[in-house]
Structure 1
Amino acid sequence: MECRTFGWTWKRLMACLTCGWVACSNDSPGRHAREHYQETDHPVAASLEPGAPWRWCYVHGRPV
């Protein structure tokens, strides 16, 4: 994970629901899930936190 290269920690890990890419959330220093969306246009990511079925839509900028 790119965050570890910089010594950053993340708040939450997100999985892209289109391709499965795992990246840090928007509230993490790297914001790598958003970067993935900007590069690929894959619109929805889901939290990998146990017991937290949370999904974010980058197109609409809100949870879904």
Structure 2
Amino acid sequence: MEDLLHKPEEVAEYLGTSVGGLAQMRYRGSGPKFVKLGRKAVRYRDSDIKEWLEQNVKNQT
């Protein structure tokens, strides 16, 4: 099974946030799981993005 890797720019656009906002989510541990490639490269797997979205579905505020 193939799990595509996405750059933060792609994920931020998909989630409707900024790249900086996505970086803050990584720092706080509140965003989707991510893969660290080397010292600076960060990527997101399709499955982790979908899982995070499902966990954040709410019925009320």
Structure with bigger gyration radius: 2
Where relative contact order (Cα < 8 A, 6+ residues apart) is larger, the structure is 2
Structure with more strand by fraction = 1
- TM-score w.r.t. the length of structure 2 is 0.24
Structure with more helix by fraction = 2
